[in-house]
Amino acid sequence: MNKPKVLITRQLLPEALDQVSEFADMEVWPDTYPPSPEELRTLLKDKHGVLTTIMDRIDASAMDSAPNLKVVSQLGVGVDHIDVDEATKRRILVGNTPGVLAKATADIAFALLMSAARRVSEGDHWVHDKQWELAFHPLHWLGVDVHSTTLGIVGLGETGLEMVKRAQGFDMKVIYYSRTRKPDLEAKYSIEFVDFKDLLQTADFVSLHVAYTPETHFLIGEPEFKLMKPTSILVNAARGPVVDPKALYDALNQNIIYAAGLDVTYPEPISPDDPLLDLKNVVITPHMGSSAISTRRNTMYMAVENMAAGLEGRKLVACVNPSLYQDLGI
């Protein structure tokens, strides 16, 4: 019997590809850069499944070229690059990978928080630039404390919750704002729900963990920065366009806030001419929140399993449009 055909849009770990070969004939895009939209359309023509990364835009036009497509399996949690409504109309299942990468993402978010507060990255650059001439001065390299401060989490999903746990190890008070209030988590972790404006005004650290949607586009802009404390630090490990980049630059440059730690930017990659790169009070990592080896391996296994399930007419481990199950008789 012929195996279904799948496209894997980037090289994966060999052990993950071995798993795919057990149930599908696969084509693996060999380049480091993603296929162009036109190349993607051509590659999808005869495919029943596609395993994507955030750089592969799966919109109506991509789906038009893929009449056999049954499943889109995203390597990651965020699916803002996939037109899920359009996929649902076409009875295409969309899978993603919650549950395996939130801890790693929170590790990076917390590392950024600490680095921005205690000037770790700035100090490291300075030492590497061979500028360390005076061993110690009581007034040099002063940052702001992390312990015993207030962390404000915006978007209490999986990563936000992992931030709560990390913050509690640092004796931080945690307040949160999310689309839906979570009384069970409030009781379990002694955290407090506040409205968005209160959070911005009160928190020493504002850490963003919302999904990127039309409602969260530029959630943090000039008015929001103006509400934040001048000593506060913004952390964004969600998606770049949750923050207005011009307002972010002004807030950091004019010391409206103290610093920022970013794992995501808008656009990505950040332009080499972006003025943000000239500021010392911002730490930027290149969207590497979930890039830890065992996390990435588990994420690949989950995306492969989602793909297999979608092709074989089983429920996915995690499905973004489960309303389709009934339609598909799963």
What residues line the site for ligand NAP (CB under 6 A)? Answer: 77-78, 98, 101-102, 105, 155-160, 178-180, 209-213, 215-216, 237-239, 263-264, 287, 289-290
Q: What is the DSSP string of 272-315?
A: TT-GGGG-SSEEE--S-TT--HHHHHHHHHHHHHHHHHHHHT--
- Catalytic, out of 27, 81, 268, 297: 268
φ/ψ of 220, rounded to 5, equals: -110, 110
Tokens of 65: 């070229």
Q: Which is nearer to ligand NAP, 105 or 232 (CB)?
A: 105
Q: Which is nearer to ligand NAP, 158 or 305 (CB)?
A: 158
Query: Nearest to ligand NAP by Cβ — which residue?
Result: 157
- Catalytic, out of 48, 287, 296, 305: 287
Known catalytic residue at 268: yes
Q: How far is the CB of 208 from ligand NAP (least distance, A)?
A: 8
- Catalytic, out of 10, 239, 296, 305: 239
Q: How far is the CB of 25 from ligand NAP (least distance, A)?
A: 30
Q: How far is the CB of 3 from ligand NAP (least distance, A)?
A: 31
Q: Which is nearer to ligand NAP, 24 or 75 (CB)?
A: 75
Q: How far is the CB of 247 from ligand NAP (least distance, A)?
A: 18
Instruction: List, in sequence order, every residue forming a beta bridge with 283; answer none if it has no partner.
Output: 261
Q: How far is the CB of 277 from ligand NAP (least distance, A)?
A: 19
CA distance linking residue 236 with residue 241, whole number of Å: 10
Q: Which is nearer to ligand NAP, 69 or 284 (CB)?
A: 284
CA distance linking residue 24 with residue 64, whole number of Å: 22
Q: DSSP state, 49?
A: E
Maximal CA-CA distance, the chain: 74
CA distance linking residue 221 with residue 245, whole number of Å: 8
Tokens of 44: 């999808």
Amino acid at 195: D
Residue 69 near residue 58, CB atoms below 8 Å: no
Known catalytic residue at 239: yes
Say how many C-beta atoms besides its own lie within 10 A of residue 41's C-beta. Answer: 16
At 100, is the secondary structure helix, strand, or coil? coil
Active site residues: 239, 268, 287
